[in-house]
C-alpha cells in the first residue's frame, strides 16, 4: 500500500506541474515571445560590426549595443548582414525594423529615416599603404589621386562633394574590406574611412593613416520614419545604458 501511495503522489505532482506549465502558455500575454526586432548592419566595419572568424556570427560594438537595448525594451534581436548602401532602402521598405552600422546622422538621411540620439563621434581618415610615400597636408592634395571608398558612406560622399570626381578618381566598393584590399593590391592610391576603425584595419593590413578630415560626425541608430514609439523606447534605453557601468565595459571591451 505504501508503494502505491508513493506512485499516486508522484503522478499527482507530475499532473500539477504539467497543468501549471500549460496554464502559463495559454494565459501569457499575447505575443510575449514574438516581439522581434529585425536589425540590419554591414558587418565589414570592425570593431563596430564584423563577422567573428570562429563562430561566423555577426558581432561587434554595435551588435552588442543593440542587443542590450533589445533586452531593456523587451525585444529579441534578429541580425541581418547586407551591403552598406542597401541599409537605408531596406529600412524604408520595411524589410528591417532598425539599422545599426556606425551610421552617421546627416540632414540628407534625416529626410527619409529617423535617428536615435547620437552614441558615438567620428571624423574621416585618409589611409595609404604602409610603404607609400604619399603626403597629404590638405584636401587639395587629394586631387589627381585614385581614392577608394565604401559606396554610400559619408567618406564616399565627402570626396564627391569636396574634391569632385572631375579632380580625382573615386572608386566605389561594396564594403570597406573590399576598398582596403584594393588599396593593398595597388588598385587605388588612398582609401577614405571613419577614423574609428583605422586601428582595427591596421592590425590586418599594411596600411597607415596619413590625414584626418575633421567632419565632426555622430553615429545614430536608424528607425523607419515616423515610428515614434520605437524611437522613444530606443532613446530611453540608450540613455540608461550610456549612463551605466555597462557602457564603460562595452567601450573598454572594443576600444580599450
What pLDDT does residue 4 have? 45
- Tens digit of pLDDT for each residue in 122-177? 999 999 999 999 999 999 999 999 999 999 999 999 999 999 999 999 999 999 99
Q: Is the pLDDT of residue 23 over 70?
A: no
Tell me: do 207 and 239 sit in the same domain.
no
Domain limits for position 194: 122-217
- Tens digit of pLDDT for each residue in 216-252? 999 999 999 999 999 999 999 999 999 999 999 999 9
Tell me: do 212 and 126 sit in the same domain.
yes
Domain count, the chain: 2
Tell me: do 198 and 231 sit in the same domain.
no
CATH of the domain at 162: 3.40.190.10
What pLDDT does residue 118 have? 98
- Bridge partners (DSSP) of residue 190 are 147
pTM value is 0.81
Tell me: do 115 and 149 sit in the same domain.
no
Domain annotation covers residue 19: no
Domain annotation covers residue 128: yes
Domain annotation covers residue 146: yes
Q: Is the CA virtual torsion 90, 94, 95, 96 positive or negative?
A: positive
What pLDDT does residue 28 have? 43
Distance CA 244, CA 14 (A): 44
Tell me: do 229 and 161 sit in the same domain.
no
Domain annotation covers residue 161: yes
- Tens digit of pLDDT for each residue in 74-87? 999 999 999 999 99
Amino acid at each position: 500500500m505504501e508503494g502505491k501511495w508513493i506512485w499516486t503522489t508522484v503522478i499527482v505532482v507530475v499532473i500539477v506541474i504539467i497543468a501549471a506549465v500549460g496554464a502559463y502558455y495559454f494565459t501569457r500575454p499575447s505575443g510575449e515571445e514574438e516581439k522581434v526586432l529585425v536589425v540590419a548592419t554591414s558587418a565589414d566595419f570592425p570593431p563596430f560590426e564584423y563577422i567573428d572568424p570562429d563562430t561566423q556570427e555577426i558581432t561587434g560594438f554595435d551588435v552588442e549595443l543593440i542587443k542590450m537595448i533589445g533586452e531593456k525594451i523587451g525585444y529579441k534581436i534578429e541580425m541581418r548582414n547586407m551591403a552598406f548602401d542597401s541599409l537605408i532602402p531596406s529600412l524604408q521598405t520595411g524589410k528591417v525594423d532598425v539599422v545599426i552600422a556606425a551610421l552617421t546622422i546627416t540632414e540628407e538621411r534625416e529626410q527619409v529615416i529617423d535617428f536615435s540620439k547620437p552614441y558615438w563621434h567620428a571624423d574621416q581618415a585618409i589611409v595609404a599603404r604602409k610603404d607609400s610615400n604619399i603626403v597629404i597636408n590638405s584636401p587639395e592634395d587629394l586631387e589627381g589621386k585614385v581614392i577608394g571608398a565604401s559606396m554610400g558612406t559619408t567618406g564616399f560622399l565627402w570626396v564627391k562633394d569636396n574634391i569632385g570626381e572631375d579632380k580625382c578618381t573615386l572608386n566605389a566598393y561594396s564594403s570597406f574590406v573590399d576598398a582596403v584590399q584594393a588599396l593593398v593590391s595597388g588598385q587605388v592610391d588612398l582609401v577614405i574611412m571613419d577614423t574609428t576603425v583605422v586601428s582595427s584595419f591596421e592590425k590586418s593590413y599594411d596600411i597607415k593613416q596619413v590625414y584626418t578630415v575633421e567632419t565632426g560626425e555622430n553615429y545614430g541608430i536608424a528607425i523607419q520614419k515616423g515610428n515614434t514609439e520605437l524611437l522613444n523606447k530606443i532613446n530611453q534605453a540608450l540613455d540608461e545604458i550610456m549612463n551605466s557601468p555597462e557602457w564603460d565595459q562595452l567601450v573598454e571591451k572594443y576600444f580599450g
